[in-house]
Every structure is written in C-alpha cells, then in structure tokens.
Amino acid sequence: MNVLPIFWLVPVSAVLALIFAWFFFKQMMKADEGNDTMKKIAMHVRKGANAYLKQQYKVVGIVFIIITIIFSIMAYGLGVQNPWVPFAFLTGGFFSALAGFFGMKTATYASSRAAQAASKSLNDGLRLAFRSGAVMGLVVVGLGLLDISIWFFVLNAVYPVASDTHNLLIITTTMLTFGMGASTQALFARVGGGIFTKAADVGADLVGKVEAGIPEDDPRNPATIADNVGDNVGDVAGMGADLYESYCGSILATAALGAAAFLSQPDQAIKAVMAPMLIAGVGIILSILGIFLVKTKEGATMKNLLNSLGFGVNVSAVLIAIFAFVILWYLHIPNYLGIWASIITGLVSGILIGQSTEYYTASAYKPTKTIAAASQTGPATVIISGVGVGFISTAFPLIIIVIGITLAFLFATGFNFDLANLSHGLYGIGIAAVGMLSTLGITLATDAYGPIADNAGGNAEMSHLGPEVRKRTDALDSLGNTTAATGKGFAIGSAALTALALLAAYIEEVRIMFVKFLDKPMELIDGIPAKDASFINYIHHYEVNLMNPMVIAGVFIGVMAVFLFSGLTMNAVGRAAGKMVDEVRRQFREIAGIMEGKAEPDYARCVAISTKAAQKEMMLPSLLALLIPVIVGLIFGVPGVVGLLVGTITSGFAVAIFMANAGGAWDNAKKYIEEGNYGGKGSPAHKAAVTGDTVGDPFKDTSGPSLNILIKLMSMASVVTVGVAVSYHLF
C-alpha cells in the first residue's frame, strides 16, 4: 500500500482555508471603525478579552506542562503509552489555542466595525459580521486539517506505510492522541469562558436591570464591558475550541477505525483512512464557496437575510453530499454506497437536531409560547414549565441519534449484522460524524456571527448611536440568536457522534495495548487471527458485557460525572455572579456621578473579577473530567472505562440538550413578552420571565455546552491512558 497521490488535496485545502481567513480578516480590518466612542468601547472589550485570554493561556499552559510530564513518564518511564503522545498532546493544544486566539481577535476587532457598517445599511452590517465569523470558521478547519496533515507526513516518514502494512494502524492511533491536547484546551476554554461570560451577564442583569432598572448594555453598568468580553471568550473562543475538537476528533477516530476495519486488506485500509480527510478537505473548499454565496440585496427583509445565510449553508451541504459520493466512488472503497449512505445519515442527523433545537427554543412555536404564558402566574411556573419543556425536548434529538447510529452502522455493514462486520459498522458511525462536520467552515461562520452581531449591538447601545442603527443591530442580533440555537444543537449532536467514534476507537487502542501487554511485539499484529481470538474473548466475551457489574458500575460513574460536573459549573456561576453583584453594587455606591453618566465605571475591575473567578472555578470540574477515566481504569479496568464512557455520552448528551433548550426557551419567552405579549416590558409577567432568562444563562452558556467537551474529553483521556487501564487495575 502507499499514500494516495490525491492526499495532497488535504493540506492544500487546509492552507486555502487559512488564506481565505486571512483575506476576510484583512477585508474587515480595512472597514471603518466608527467614531471615537465606538473605538474606545471596542478597545475596552478587546483589552478585557486579551487580558482574559492571556491569563487563561497562562493557567492552561501550566496544566499542559504538568500533563506533558505525566505523559512523558507514562510513555518513557512506565512504557504504558505511545511515545509520541506527549508531542501530539502539545500540538493539539497549541493549534486549538491558536484557533481560539485568531477567532477572538477577529471578533473583538469586528464589533465596532459591524456597528459602523450597520449605520450605513443592514446589508453592510450583515456582511461584515458574517465574514468576520467566517474567519473563525475557516481558521478552525484550516488549522485542524493542517495539524492532521503535518502529523501524517511526519509519522509516515518514521513508520512508512509503504514498508509495513501495519504502520497505518500505528500512525492513525498515534494521531488520535493529538485530539487529547485539543480536548484539554477546549475544556478550559469552554468551562472558563462559560463561567466568565455568565458571571458577568448574571451579575450585570441582577444589579443593572433588576435593582437599578437601567437597560441592558447601558454604559453606566460597570459589568457591561465584562458582559461583552464574555460573549467573545465564551461564545467565540469557547465554541471554536469545542468544534475544533469535534472536527479533529471525528476525522482522527474515523481514520483509526478505518485502519482497523480493513486490517487484512492494506490497499483498502489506506483508502478508508484517507476518505474522512479528503471529505473534510473538499468540505473546506465548499464552505468557502458557500461563504461567498451569502449575499443580500439592498432593502432585504429579515426573512431574506435568514434565507441568504441558509442558502450558503445548504448549497455547501448539498454539494458535499454529491462530492462525498464522487470521492468514495473514485477511491473505490468496498461497499462505497453504504459508506456514502452513512455520511448522508450524519449530515441529515446534524440538520434535524439543529432544527429541533430551533423548534423548542424559538418563540414562533408552542413550547416557548407555553413558557411565556406560564409567566402570568409568576416565576415559579415559568421555571416549572421551562424545566418540563427542556426535559421533553431531549426526546427528539435522542431518537435522531439512535436512528442515526443504527442506520450509519447498518449501512456501513451492508445490513449484514454480524460480529465479523463490527469494525465496518463502527467505521460507519465515525464517518457519519465526519459527514455531519464536513462543512464546519461555513456552519461555524454562522455560529460565530452571532456574538459578533451581539457585540456590535452592545457597541451601538453604549455609543448612543441613533435608533435606526440600533434597530438594525437588533435585527442582526436577532438573526444571530436564530443561528445560535441551531448551532448549539449542531455542536451537541456532533460532540455525541464524535464521542461515540472515539469510544469505538478506544476499543481499537485496547486491541493494540492488549497485544503489547501480552509481551508480543507490535509487529505480531500480523498474526491477527490468532491474537484476535484472545482479544475478542477479552473484550466481547465477558468483560465489556452489560451483565458484568464492573461495566454497570462504570455506567453509574459516567452518569455521576455528568451530574457532578453540571452541578459544579452551575454553582461556579452562582458564586462568581455573587462576587460580580457585590462589585457592581459597590461601584454604584462609591463612584459618585456614575448613575448620571458623569463618571466612568471601573470596567476593568469587573473584567478582572470575572477572569479571576473563572480561572479559579474551572479547575475542579476540569480536573474531574481528566481524572475520572484514569481512576475508573485503575479500579475497574477496561470494562469499567467502557461503561463509564457509555454512561457519560448518553446522559451527557441528554443533560446538554436539556440545559441548552431550557435556557434558550426561557431567553426567547422573555423576548416574546418584551414584544408586547402578556403586558410587555415591565409587567409582572416580564419580571417572572426575566427570572427564567437569568436561570437559563448558566444552563445554556456554561453547564450545557461544557458537557459537549466533557463527553469528548473523557473518551480522549480514556484513549490516551488506555495502557494504564490494561496494565494496572484492581479488579
């Protein structure tokens, strides 16, 4: 076997993504930054965001150094880990942080420019904000695929696939571990960013809106800048790191599963490994095309705008469906029709989950209207009804995932459901995740557009721009809320599918470690039939069986991890918001003239408080996520870890959807009332709905999205520390 010549497409499209990202960035930087007030406010936000990111990367850097040392000991001291892991871990983290940094830098430069563009026309505002979001989307996919390409070249130089057919398995499983770096960095970005943004938001609302009665984004509120910084560090950098991880994780896991599925047919194996990378590469090109398609005519209505965004995304999706077929047909992978069907299954699942999120959270539909109606009997019924809607809203996405994995599996096995085809079926689940994420370049652009539009609105409000401009930025913001809802569903759905692919890859890692553990050199994988028998015995016969109480214990612990993690992040926001409330109250009390707009509040101090609280509060939940798989592995071994991952993925997915949708629905129920229903702004119903919205803040922006990372990171941590679970375990 040999590396296919067409592989060059992969690094080329990665570089292409980065070139276009740079192009869009330059284009945005050339735009008018607005008047001095706008510049000043943007500068405040930018400084706050940079200060946060600097502090965040410092803390994460220390964590990375410690983990790298531990991995080095495991790899070189104890010999229970692949020797490349420490390096792969570092690059994964570095590229993820870089993507977050670029995305956030762009967003903070774009806000005042988007506000200024909106003061000219709605279309100019939309275009500037969307193309700035596209920088984030393209940087994420570009850096992700670049990292994958580089590692593939390096490892192929050391373990040439041409010389030994089993080198492909070594390469793919080694590459998988760089996802661990991306996961770890993403965890801190999501949890830290989520705590930061909601501490600021809840704190600003509780004192500003509720106590002092001043509107949102009022420059007199000391926490306002922190709130806007939060949109950038939480929604931009956090979301970017999350999807960077899903993107790389799904491609790498599928590559590893492909190498394993076609172990006995080397010429097919290289195709199966290349396929996800090629699909991702073509997906980048189609995303760029889609981004250019997002154009609007002068005088476009809101619906036109939405259609215009949708047009770009849908064209990319339809084209990737066609091109995926072309790629698979060109490669001539066995059962390429079935594998193509698996990809389509993933694509469609992603769209459906996004749409169900939209249904459960948009005020045009019944669930959110029910919550709004419940506000007439006070905050308690708002919460009860929101929790009820949130719980029920998990049903449809869970069924979609069930149908999705079942179909993806069955298609890839050619509906031949037999133990011998297990690996092929798991490959099908992996490539479904790749299909879902293939056009991430443009879907992430629509996501990142949201907080940029939000910040543009904040900038316009604080700069006291005219009502016409404010109306336009509100319209842009409202469009962003819609894309954010589907984007959230998409992020959770892709995280679940990626985590399932990683779970499958975990078993392949166990296979390799198992051979190693039996003191057979790696090359002996050649003798697969014989080895495989004992391996299958180990994995399939008893150990990973659901009747094994160690497995059930693992499932219980997995569920526990999800609930404990959610509780810790909820409480973190509660505590941090409390500190923010104290600070805002203090400034209102101590800074004379603040309420009359004569004195400037101490914005930086609020940013510093959120930063400090976020850094402090993110440690415990993050450590938990990193340590639980190792501890479970040490006590219950591989069966416990497999149970753990199943428990975490299934319940984590449900809780994430519950929190995201309940939070989104509360948010929009409040907006629905603000539109004049049930008494409108200032009515008792509105007050009750504000309570729901505030409760929903940490639900939808801290705990919920952090679970996306939890389920992937636990899988990654299990993959990377598989040697520990295989070699040392109590039971």
Cβ proximity to its own copies: between 25 and 535 the closer is 535
Cβ proximity to its own copies: between 100 and 203 the closer is 203
Letter for the amino acid at 676?
G
CA distances from 271 to 3, 5, 341, 426, 512 (A): 9, 11, 17, 16, 21
- Interface residues for its own copies in 163-202 (CB under 8 A)? 202
* Least distance (Å) between residue 427 CB and its own copies: 12
Residue located via tokens 């705590």: 195
- Interface residues for its own copies in 205-224 (CB under 8 A)? 206, 210
* Least distance (Å) between residue 270 CB and its own copies: 24
* Least distance (Å) between residue 198 CB and its own copies: 9
Among 642, 685, 714, 726, binds its own copies (CB under 8 A): 642
HSE (CB half, 13 Å, CA atoms) of 667? 23
Cβ proximity to its own copies: between 362 and 577 the closer is 577
Calculate the CA dihedral of residues 480, 486, 492, 494 and round it to 10 degrees.
-110
Task: For residue 613, state whether it binds its own copies (rule: CB under 8 A).
Answer: no
Stretch that binds its own copies, among 73-81, 176-184, 486-494, 644-652 (CB under 8 A): 644-652
Letter for the amino acid at 212?
A
- DSSP assignment, residue 595? T
> Which has the closest alpha carbon to 525: 510, 511, 539, 540?
511
Calculate the CA dihedral of residues 7, 9, 15, 20 and round it to 10 degrees.
-160
Stretch that binds its own copies, among 48-56, 178-186, 443-451, 652-660 (CB under 8 A): 652-660
* Least distance (Å) between residue 262 CB and its own copies: 18
Cβ proximity to its own copies: between 390 and 451 the closer is 390
Task: For residue 346, state whether it binds its own copies (rule: CB under 8 A).
Answer: no
Among 173, 498, 611, 694, binds its own copies (CB under 8 A): 694
Stretch that binds its own copies, among 168-176, 590-598, 694-702, 709-717 (CB under 8 A): 694-702
* Least distance (Å) between residue 377 CB and its own copies: 6
Cβ proximity to its own copies: between 457 and 558 the closer is 558
- Interface residues for its own copies in 550-609 (CB under 8 A)? 550-553, 555-560, 562-564, 566-568, 570-571, 573-574, 577-578, 581
Q: What is the DSSP string of 130-155?
A: HHHHHHHHHHHHHHHHHHHHHHHHHH
* Least distance (Å) between residue 551 CB and its own copies: 7
* Least distance (Å) between residue 176 CB and its own copies: 17
Cβ proximity to its own copies: between 482 and 548 the closer is 548
Residues in the chain: 731
Task: For residue 651, state whether it binds its own copies (rule: CB under 8 A).
Answer: yes
Go through 463-473 and write b for each residue having 16 or more CB atoms within 10 A of its CB, e for each that does not: bebeeebbebb
Please tell me the distance from the alpha carbon of residue 506 to that of residue 633, in angstroms, as a whole number.
12
Stretch that binds its own copies, among 57-65, 146-154, 516-524, 651-659 (CB under 8 A): 651-659
Task: For residue 429, state whether it binds its own copies (rule: CB under 8 A).
Answer: yes
Among 601, 698, 705, 723, binds its own copies (CB under 8 A): 698
Cβ proximity to its own copies: between 119 and 566 the closer is 566
Please tell me the distance from the alpha carbon of residue 242 to that of residue 562, in angstroms, as a whole number.
17
**Residue 447: CB atoms within 10 Å:** 27
* Least distance (Å) between residue 106 CB and its own copies: 32
Q: What is the DSSP string of 207-244?
A: IIIIII-PPTT-TTSTTHHHHHHHIIIIIIIIHHHHHH
- Interface residues for its own copies in 97-156 (CB under 8 A)? none
Cβ proximity to its own copies: between 316 and 694 the closer is 694
Return the ∠ at Cα 395 (arms to 306 and 704), rounded to 5°.
70
Confirm if 175 and 148 have CB atoms less than 8 A apart: yes
Confirm if 169 and 260 have CB atoms less than 8 A apart: yes
Stretch that binds its own copies, among 26-34, 77-85, 162-170, 639-647 (CB under 8 A): 639-647
Confirm if 164 and 524 have CB atoms less than 8 A apart: no
Task: For residue 683, state whether it binds its own copies (rule: CB under 8 A).
Answer: no
Among 653, 700, 706, 718, binds its own copies (CB under 8 A): 653
Confirm if 304 and 461 have CB atoms less than 8 A apart: no
Residue located via tokens 């306002």: 224
- Interface residues for its own copies in 498-557 (CB under 8 A)? 500, 504, 507, 539-542, 544-553, 555-557
Task: For residue 82, state whether it binds its own copies (rule: CB under 8 A).
Answer: no
Cβ proximity to its own copies: between 29 and 210 the closer is 210
Sequence-separated (6 or more) residues with CB below 8 Å from residue 290: 312, 313, 315, 316, 439, 441, 442
* Least distance (Å) between residue 390 CB and its own copies: 7
- Interface residues for its own copies in 387-426 (CB under 8 A)? 387-395, 398-399, 401-402, 405-406, 409-410, 417, 419, 422, 425-426
* Least distance (Å) between residue 700 CB and its own copies: 12
Could you tell me how many residues of this chain bind its own copies (CB under 8 A)? 86
* Least distance (Å) between residue 578 CB and its own copies: 7
Sequence-separated (6 or more) residues with CB below 8 Å from residue 270: 1, 2, 3, 4, 161, 168
- Interface residues for its own copies in 364-383 (CB under 8 A)? 374, 377-381, 383
> Which has the closest alpha carbon to 353: 45, 658, 657?
657
At 282, list the tokens.
């073509």
Cβ proximity to its own copies: between 398 and 634 the closer is 398
Please tell me the distance from the alpha carbon of residue 386 to that of residue 391, in angstroms, as a whole number.
9
* Least distance (Å) between residue 443 CB and its own copies: 24
Task: For residue 384, state whether it binds its own copies (rule: CB under 8 A).
Answer: yes
Task: For residue 8, state whether it binds its own copies (rule: CB under 8 A).
Answer: no
* Least distance (Å) between residue 646 CB and its own copies: 6
Residue located via tokens 């028998």: 533
Q: How far apart are the first and last CA of the chain?
A: 41
* Least distance (Å) between residue 126 CB and its own copies: 33
* Least distance (Å) between residue 562 CB and its own copies: 8
Please tell me the distance from the alpha carbon of residue 349 to that of residue 318, in angstroms, as a whole number.
14
Cβ proximity to its own copies: between 53 and 642 the closer is 642
* Least distance (Å) between residue 567 CB and its own copies: 3
Go through 712-724 and write b for each residue having 16 or more CB atoms within 10 A of its CB, e for each that does not: bbbbbbbbbbbbb
Please tell me the distance from the alpha carbon of residue 256 to that of residue 545, in angstroms, as a whole number.
23
Confirm if 258 and 725 have CB atoms less than 8 A apart: no
Cβ proximity to its own copies: between 186 and 410 the closer is 410
Task: For residue 695, state whether it binds its own copies (rule: CB under 8 A).
Answer: yes
* Least distance (Å) between residue 657 CB and its own copies: 8
Cβ proximity to its own copies: between 8 and 415 the closer is 415
HSE (CB half, 13 Å, CA atoms) of 556? 7
Backbone angles phi, psi at 697, to 5 degrees: -55, -60
* Least distance (Å) between residue 487 CB and its own copies: 22
Task: For residue 647, state whether it binds its own copies (rule: CB under 8 A).
Answer: yes
Please tell me the distance from the alpha carbon of residue 451 to that of residue 21, in angstroms, as a whole number.
18
Residue located via tokens 């926001």: 573
Task: For residue 159, state whether it binds its own copies (rule: CB under 8 A).
Answer: no
Confirm if 609 and 675 have CB atoms less than 8 A apart: no
